[in-house]
Amino acid sequence: KQEVTQIPAALSVPEGENLVLNCSFTDSAIYNLQWFRQDPGKGLTSLLLIQSSQREQTSGRLNASLDKSSGRSTLYIAASQPGDSATYLCAVNTNAGKSTFGDGTTLTVKP
């Protein structure tokens, strides 16, 4: 059974700092991995989708990396802004099309 862990559970940083969010998974037989952002009381917004054959994906100030063999993905946020404050979730998708989410990292960027 796939288990997904996100550490830390919460993170507070000053504005402008670069930061890394971590996602680890127990079964490396994945099809792809997706990072989401969730604002309080809202649904999930897709940030990046990284296929199992890819090492990284970039979108603006966001960069996601994937190391299947070690069961790890990181989301790098450059030059953080207060508007980046949200909960960040990773979801691991298996070859059978099943998604398992981590419990998320709640990020607070202080002005």
Partner 1 sequence: EAGVAQSPRYKIIEKRQSVAFWCNPISGHATLYWYQQILGQGPKLLIQFQNNGVVDDSQLPKDRFSAERLKGVDSTLKIQPAKLEDSAVYLCASSFLTRNTEAFFGQGTRLTVV
Residues in touch with partner 1 (CB under 8 A): 4, 6, 31-32, 34, 36, 41-46, 49, 51, 89, 91, 93, 95, 97-104
CB of 20 to partner 1, least distance (A): 19
β-pair partners for 25: 4
Nearer to partner 1 among residue 71 and residue 104 (C-beta): 104
Nearer to partner 1 among residue 3 and residue 17 (C-beta): 3
Tokens 């994937």 locate to 66
CB of 52 to partner 1, least distance (A): 10
Distance from C-alpha of 21 to C-alpha of 29, rounded to nearest angstrom: 22
CB of 15 to partner 1, least distance (A): 26
Nearer to partner 1 among residue 51 and residue 81 (C-beta): 51
Side-chain half-sphere of 103: how many Cα atoms within 13 Å?
6
Main-chain phi, psi angles of 61, to 5 degrees: -85, 5
Q: What is the pairing mode between strands 10-14 and 4-7?
A: unpaired
